[in-house]
Each structure stands twice: as structure tokens, then as C-alpha cells.
Amino acid sequence: MGESIFSLKDVSYSFSQNIIALKGLSFDIEKGQRIAIIGANGTGKSTLLTMLDALIFPTSGTMTMAGKTITERAMRDPGFQREFRRKVGFVFQNPDVQLFCPTVKEDIVFGPLQFGIAHDEINKRLESIVEKMRISHLLQRSPHQLSIGEKKKAAIASTLIMEPEILLLDEPTAGLDPQTNRDIIDVLDKAHKAGKTVVMATHDLHIVEEIADIVHVFGDDKTIIRSGSAEEILSDNPFLQTNNLVHVHVHRHLNIKHVHPHSHPHPH
């Protein structure tokens, strides 16, 4: 068993008394793991990632990071907060949220500047990350002038430049063209090979096997209804259909009606 980074014990979260977003979650995230969180819309994937980034806190149960319980009070300690933010990087689902500076360059270096990293070091990291993400031509552009794929890449770069140990990503490949999709998967693969722990919420099942060792499936009742290896979960078609994660194709050949699970050799 590896070194546990995050540990959740019976964690629940409610937006108000009536709206439950997460219910009774218990699992561990170990150093170097690649975890995919899958589930239909509104099952709590984004809420879980937001909680893992300590932007919201459990309404019941406990969440620990490296043995320390994460609470609002604990995050008020500037030393701990700084340590936490340096270790955990979060790529938001909507890149417009993450790109708030007038230029892409300023957005990318925003994180390291807050941590007081030396300018030479920031420039070195910037050079390396823009080369990796192939976005050097975007640095002086304003975020509103970018395409959705370019925004996603810039948002990921703005998190990777902080060199976090744990990378949380909320649907990083949603709505992207195949090439941008591929670029992002490659970058995440490299990050994992460099020893980073990667936790990703996604709907793109065709990338899950490539980017995750462990898969947690969220159900409509806001609980984890199943956990296992990517291979084990993705091969269980009836389970995926029941939970709204794949759809069936229905078509006709003359008078014969074909119904079969959605699958093809190429990505969507």
C-alpha cells in the first residue's frame, strides 16, 4: 500500500439542508495514483474536486490530507494554507474562471508569483510549460481571444507551473477537438510519470483507461456506487448503461432492428 495523501471518511456535503451534493464518501488517494471520477451530470464529481481543493468543506465526516484534517479553521492557518496550495493544483471545468488576468502570460505566472517564487525560476518554468503545452504563441493574447481548447491548455499550464504534487482536473477534455484532447492526455501522462498524483472527473470514457488506474463511479444518489480498476469498470457495459454513462445504438438493416452498446475503435 502506498503513502496516503487524501483520506475521506464518511464525507457528506450539502449546499443547504435540502440539497445534498455528496453522501457518505469513504476512500483514500495514494501518492502517484491516477484516479478517474466518472458519473452522470449532477452526481457530485465537481463538488468532490472542489472539496479536495479545500474550497468547500465536509458538512459531516472527515477529510485528511497527509494526516491533517482539512477544515475551514485549519485552512485559516497561513502556513498550512500555503503548504496545501503549493501541493494541490486544481484545473477548473470552466477555463474562463481560471483565466482572470489580462494576458495568458500573466495568468500562467499568477500562482508562482503568489508563492513568492523567484522571477528567474518562474521564467524557467514558464518557458518549459509553454513548450510542453505548445502555447508560446498565446502568451501575449488576452484570454477572451482564445478558442476553448486554447483556454483549456492555458488553464492547465497555469496549474502545472506551480508544480503541484496532486493535480485535480475537472473535465479537462470536455468539448475539445481530437488533437487538443491528445495533447492534454499526453501532458497529464507526463505529469504522472514525473510522480504526480492525478485525480480527474470526466465523461470521456474513451480516455479513462489511458489516464486512470482506479475509477470511482458516482451514482444519482451522490454516493460512490462502485470503485475498481478502469478495465474492470469499463468492461461492464450493463452497469455503465444503467448509470447513464454509455448509450445504446439502435438502427435498422431492412426489417431487422439492431440494438448494441456504443463502442468503436476510434475516439469520439
Partner 1 sequence: MVSGFIERTILGTVSVLKDTVSVERYALQRGFLQERDPRYKSCASISLLIAMVLCNNAAVLLSLYAIIVLLVPFSNIRIGFFLKRTLLFVPIFSFVIVVPAIFDAVSPGTVVASWHVFGLKLSVTRQGIDAAGIFCMRVLDCVSMSVLLVLTTRQHVLLKVLRIFKVPQLFVMTIGMSYRYIFLFLDIIQKMFIGIKSRVGFVSSSTEGRRIATAHMAGLWLRSYRLHTAVYDAMISRGYNGEAYVLDEFRSTIADKIMLILSFIILIGAVWANRFFH
Q: How far is the CB of 44 from partner 1 (least distance, A)?
A: 17
**Binding test (CB under 8 A) with partner 1, winner from 66, 74, 101, 246:** 101
Q: Do residues 218 and 45 touch, judged by C-beta distance below 8 A?
A: yes
Q: How far is the CB of 233 from partner 1 (least distance, A)?
A: 29
Contacts 24+ apart (CB under 8 A), 105-113: 105/139, 105/140, 107/143, 107/154, 107/158, 108/139, 108/154, 108/157, 108/158, 108/161, 109/161, 110/158, 111/158, 111/159, 111/161, 111/162, 112/161, 112/162
| Residue nearer to partner 1 on the CB measure, 160 or 234 | 160
**Binding test (CB under 8 A) with partner 1, winner from 103, 136, 227, 241:** 103
- Distance CA(142)–CA(105), nearest Å, equals 9
With binding defined as CB under 8 A, does residue 209 bind partner 1? Answer: no
- By CB under 8 A, which span of 60-68, 84-92, 179-187, 213-221 interacts with partner 1? 84-92
Q: At what angle do helices 178-193 and 148-160 cross, to 10 degrees?
A: 10
With binding defined as CB under 8 A, does residue 44 bind partner 1? Answer: no
Q: Which of 49, 63, 82 is nearest to 5 (CA)?
A: 63
- Tell me the site size for partner 1, rule CB under 8 A: 37
- By CB under 8 A, which span of 18-26, 85-93, 207-215, 216-224 interacts with partner 1? 85-93
**Binding test (CB under 8 A) with partner 1, winner from 85, 125, 196, 216:** 85
At 225, which amino acid appears?
I
**Binding test (CB under 8 A) with partner 1, winner from 60, 81, 128, 263:** 81
Burial profile 20-52: b = 16 or more Cβ within 10 angstroms, e = fewer: bbbbebeeebeebbbbbbbbeeebbbbbbbbbb
Please give the distance of CA 107 from its chain centroid, rounded to a whole number: 19
Q: How far is the CB of 236 from partner 1 (least distance, A)?
A: 34
**Binding test (CB under 8 A) with partner 1, winner from 5, 33, 45, 53:** 53
Residues 123-182 within binding reach of partner 1 (CB under 8 A): 140, 142-145, 158-159, 162
| Residue nearer to partner 1 on the CB measure, 10 or 127 | 127
With binding defined as CB under 8 A, does residue 86 bind partner 1? Answer: yes
- Distance CA(65)–CA(51), nearest Å, equals 12
Binding residues vs partner 1 (CB under 8 A):
50, 53, 55, 78, 81-82, 85-86, 89-90, 92, 94, 96-103, 105-106, 109-111, 113-116, 140, 142-145, 158-159, 162
